[in-house]
């Protein structure tokens, strides 16, 4: 048996839903919890806040927009823990409704972090996830709404079970290009950069789960996307209907699925229930 301590990691965990997820995992997960944040000072302040509550998370800096930052985290996890047991991809951005920056800039920045950053974390960290590991990608029901507002042609592409990761990346890049060229609506896209980014995360989760089932079936790793709900955070400008604690419930439920669980796998889960999208 390995002598390594078990470890759970939460990205973007210095505030909001990510902080609440880290707190719940500190209470419920049998092993170490690593809280990550782009800003080291804010991350350490979050750790101190949890320590004041009698909890003992660890901190590691992580900027999901920077591949080198992700790789430094990967190397730390390999060295300290021999891998990773639970990964919660929570880090993400959303522009405020009154942000003056043009749509193409918002589209590029939102997709860079929410889709491409999350994908890069998966590329670097999925290979070190241990047997019976759990991976949770925090998505949103707004991704499903974005899908409904896509053209029929785009809907068909996103829903296609044979869609590859490369195909999905091409679609995400096309959205950014179409936004830059001010033709995204004509090309069948909705005017929600956040929605499209989370649609990408949901579809990516399905593709990655399929690959885990093909390549690492015996390891029984479960990977899902989830919608925490409309939560009162900075991101929603405090307008949500759920508390951050309520928002953390489904991500934590998926992170702590028992070792013998075989489902859900590759699904979008909201309020602990698999969603049809």
Q: Which long-range contacts (CB under 8 A, 24 or more apart) does 176-183 make?
A: 176/104, 176/107, 176/108, 176/111, 179/103, 179/104, 179/107, 179/108, 180/104, 180/107, 180/108, 182/104
Q: 145 exposed, middle or buried (CB, 10 Å; 0-12, 13-18, 19+)?
A: middle
The residues, any chain, with a CB within 8 Å of residue 28's CB and separated by 6 or more, are 252, 256
- Residue 113 — φ and ψ, nearest 5°? -85, -60
Positions marked catalytic: 194
Q: Are 70 and 120 in contact (CB under 8 A)?
A: yes
CA-derived radius of gyration, the chain? 18
Length of the chain (residues): 277
d(CA 33, CA 55): 10
């Amino acid at each position: 048996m390995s002598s390594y301590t078990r470890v759970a990691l939460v990205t973007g965990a210095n505030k909001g839903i990510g902080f609440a997820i880290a707190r719940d995992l500190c209470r419920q997960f049998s092993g170490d919890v690593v809280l990550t944040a782009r800003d080291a000072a804010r991350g350490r302040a979050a750790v101190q806040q949890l320590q004041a509550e009698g909890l003992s998370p660890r901190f590691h800096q992580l900027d999901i927009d920077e591949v080198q930052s992700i790789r430094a985290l990967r190397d730390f996890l390999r060295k300290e823990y021999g891998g990773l047991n639970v990964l919660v991809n929570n880090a993400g951005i959303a522009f405020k409704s009154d942000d003056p920056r043009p749509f193409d800039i918002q589209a590029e920045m939102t997709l860079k972090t929410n889709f491409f950053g999350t994908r890069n974390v998966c590329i670097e960290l999925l290979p070190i996830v241990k047997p019976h590991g759990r991976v949770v990608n925090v998505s949103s029901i707004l991704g499903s709404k974005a899908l409904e507002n896509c053209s029929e042609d785009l809907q068909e592409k996103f829903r296609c079970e044979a869609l590859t990761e490369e195909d999905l990346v091409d679609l995400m890049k096309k959205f950014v290009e179409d936004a830059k060229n001010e033709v995204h609506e004509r090309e069948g896209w909705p005017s929600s950069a956040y929605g499209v980014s989370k649609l990408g995360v949901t579809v990516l989760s399905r593709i990655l789960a399929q690959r885990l089932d093909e390549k690492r079936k015996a390891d029984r790793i479960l990977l899902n996307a989830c919608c925490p709900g409309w939560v009162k955070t900075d991101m929603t400008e405090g307008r949500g209907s759920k508390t951050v604690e309520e928002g953390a419930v489904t991500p934590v439920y998926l992170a702590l699925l028992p070792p013998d669980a075989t489902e859900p796998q590759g699904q979008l889960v909201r309020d602990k229930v698999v969603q049809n999208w």
